[in-house]
Structure 1
């Protein structure tokens, strides 16, 4: 029901049934537990079965030890944190926890066998447990993909009350709606007392900053997300955390420093106060050297493996349209240094001359020029773009050190000339053949979204993140979504 006077947007919702998130969470954990145990059981049966087929004698005690390890497997994973709810759905924490738990059990069995001089444990340490670990990681990956599919249709979501100013709340809502795999749905907001009449694009205003816990209980929220705002200081957040304990509602706090996460952030107690310590990103040194060596080695290997298919593409381009097979264009790289990017030509030979006549048809906001059905693109070029085959010659730019496998999108000089101060931050690292923009929408992204993703990569880059992006790129490219 709606209360208040005038055009107030303050809404008091009728009590809704208890959110089923706790029910599906328990069911999901039971499914993970059963799957993990099954992986260990299959690994044990495979190892023992192969040994029996090879004619090995297996005493009863060894069978008992094998099935004892099957029971110990989920226990070890639980001790590693593999069943924490916050680890499921995104990030590497879940896979890291599975690996740590499995490696810990392998180490325990190996040390125990060495200390007791038990030779029968050798096959379990060398074969069963590694097989169980690999199969469990694959099982968890498939379960995560299944969870993402369910969340894409609105299932397995957590109800969230957003607390902050209007702009921050709307930005959070937009991000959660655009990326449902996070599993968060904003069901209401709490605004400053003097701003409660503002429109939130249909999102109900549940109360002010002093009524957060009551609002969360009223709508049966699973979590409260506090966005950066000066009204909610440390003391206010502490009182809010206490008030949410009764309903076991989770509390998330977004720091004022956005797009910085992972190992760069740590909380350090200083003089009795928890201070957020933010390390500077490392753009030079050993990590960058490792990244450069990795990029060039992978690019060189990829060129060797795909030499024949690339030559076939060259011939097809020459046979289907007039002009050279390769397209060279000036782009801006790290620290503003210009270079010549190499791509397969996907447009007619005089495409740059025709661009001036199509400026009014630009469908992209910001400084980019994009047309979904660009008349300059050839029939073969449309296919090459859809599956990003036209980008493969950029492996030469990677080998030359002008680009990286992963990084921000390489911009044109005229685009860089229109950059603001914040956007120029993209130029502190090498541009990449793929990046967060590639695996989160490609050309379907708005200018603001592509900039935000590029800046997030710059602030949080690591070799592990690069490997994750490369892995996701394959899935995105093969579907051919968001490319034109």
Structure 2
């Protein structure tokens, strides 16, 4: 019975991924075009940043993002192997500072539509990060990576690689439609300043609901 429920969940999740990503790409097309023009006018270089990441079962795929750094900027890595993000990073363009609240991730809707990613799931790591995996951290590759996830709505770049993996493993252990819905809604609070418009109570309730759903996974 549990196996049937798991299969049903993954079928429903894929169906939702396809429908929602397709609809969002249509609705957001004018904004995506405007962002593309902004990136192009702001600094020389391509509009998109393409990077190879690990997908489900370790299969590599090309992840799409809007470019937020000056073209040719070298990557910086923390001691744990994660990408290092500085508060006043000189590599980040003016347009990039605006986009880094989450808008730079929107092209990944194409990755979702192609079946390489899901709307909700663990963050997609580069192949080089595989060497830093310890023990059960490899379980992150059991599912498709997501545009958003528990780590993204609980600190994003402020978390260490170990902390991000802990959130990802908790999600994989307790993934459900209800948890996905909570994370999806929390993502909008991260993307848009809804708390400034009186939405802080709803944000707190969603956080509490998500924490209850994963409390047994710690």
TM-score between both structures, scaled by the size of structure 2? 0.83
User: Which of these residues, 292, 299, 312, is aligned with residue 34 of structure 2?
Assistant: 312
2:96 corresponds to = 381
Q: How many residues align?
A: 192
Kindly indicate whether residue 34 of structure 2 is the aligned counterpart of residue 321 of structure 1. no
Residues 281, 460 of structure 1: 8 Å contact kept:
no
Residues 19-98 of structure 1: matches in 2 within 5 Å? none
CA distance in 2, matches of 1:432, 1:282: 21
1:439 aligned residue: 153
1:428 and 2:150 matched: no
How far does residue 281 in structure 1 lie from its aligned partner after superposition? 11
> Distance between the aligned counterparts of 1:280 and 1:297, measured in 2?
24
Cα displacement (A) at 1:349 = 1.2
Q: Which has the higher contact order (CA 8 A, sep 6+)?
A: 2
The secondary structure found in structure 2 opposite 1:340 is strand
1:392 — aligned with what? Answer: 106
CA distance in 2, matches of 1:479, 1:468: 17
Aligned partners of 2:28, 2:126: CA distance in 1, in Å? 28
Take 1:465 and 1:281, find their aligned partners in 2: how far apart are those partners?
Answer: 19
Alpha-carbon distance in structure 2 between the residues aligned to 1:410 and 1:381:
20
* Cα displacement string for residues 207-258 of structure 1 (whole angstroms, at most 9, x for unaligned residues): xxxxxxxxxxxxxxxxxxxxxxxxxxxxxxxxxxxxxxxxxxxxxxxxxxxx
Which residue matches 1:408? 122
Q: Say if 1:281 and 1:459, in contact at 8 Å, map to a contact too.
A: no
Secondary structure, aligned partner of 1:331: strand
* 2:52 and 2:63 in contact (8 A); partners too: yes
Deviations 1:278-331 (A, max 9, x none): x78976x22111100101100000000010111011111111110111111100
> What TM-score comes out, normalization by structure 1 length?
0.38
Aligned-pair distance for 1:476? 2.1
Pick the aligned partner of 1:369 from 80, 83, 101.
83
User: Is residue 452 of structure 1 aligned with residue 174 of structure 2?
Assistant: no
- Quick check: 1:287 aligned with 2:1? no
C-alpha distance in 1, partners of 2:4/2:15?
A: 19
What residue in structure 1 maps to residue 70 of structure 2? 348
User: Contact 2:102/2:190 (CA < 8 Å) preserved in 1?
Assistant: no
CA–CA separation in structure 2 for the residues paired with 1:453 and 1:407:
10
| Aligned match of 2:132 | 418
Q: Distance in 1 between matches of 2:85 and 2:12?
A: 38
Counterparts of 1:374 and 1:318 in 2: how far apart (Å)?
20
Query: What is the rounded CA distance, in whole Å, between the counterparts of 2:165 and 2:3 in structure 1?
Result: 20
- SS of the counterpart of 1:328? strand
Instruction: Report if aligned partners of 1:410, 1:431 keep a CA contact under 8 Å in 2.
Output: yes
| CA shift for structure 1 position 443 | 1.1
Structure-1 separation of matches of 2:169 and 2:81: 16
CA–CA distance in 2 between the matches of 1:346 and 1:435? 21
Q: How does 1:455-470 map to 2 (within 5 A)?
A: 455-470=169-184
Q: Deviations over 1:11-66 (max 9, x none)?
A: xxxxxxxxxxxxxxxxxxxxxxxxxxxxxxxxxxxxxxxxxxxxxxxxxxxxxxxx
Q: CA deviation at 1:431?
A: 0.3
* Runs of at least 5 residues in structure 2 that lack an aligned partner in the other structure: 195-218
**Larger CA deviation: 442-451 vs 427-436:** 442-451
Contact 2:64–2:108 (CA<8 Å) still a contact in 1? yes
- Say if 1:330 and 1:338, in contact at 8 Å, map to a contact too: yes
Tell me how large the CA RMSD over aligned residues is.
Answer: 1.9
In structure 1, stretches of 5+ residues that fail to align are 1-278
Mapped pair 1:300 → 2:15: no
State how far apart, in whole Å, the 2-side matches of 1:371 and 1:312 are: 25
- CA 1:340–1:281 in structure 2 vs 1: closer, same or farther (change >3 Å)? farther
Larger radius of gyration: 1
1:472 aligns with 2:194: no
Distance 2:130 2:144 in 1: 14
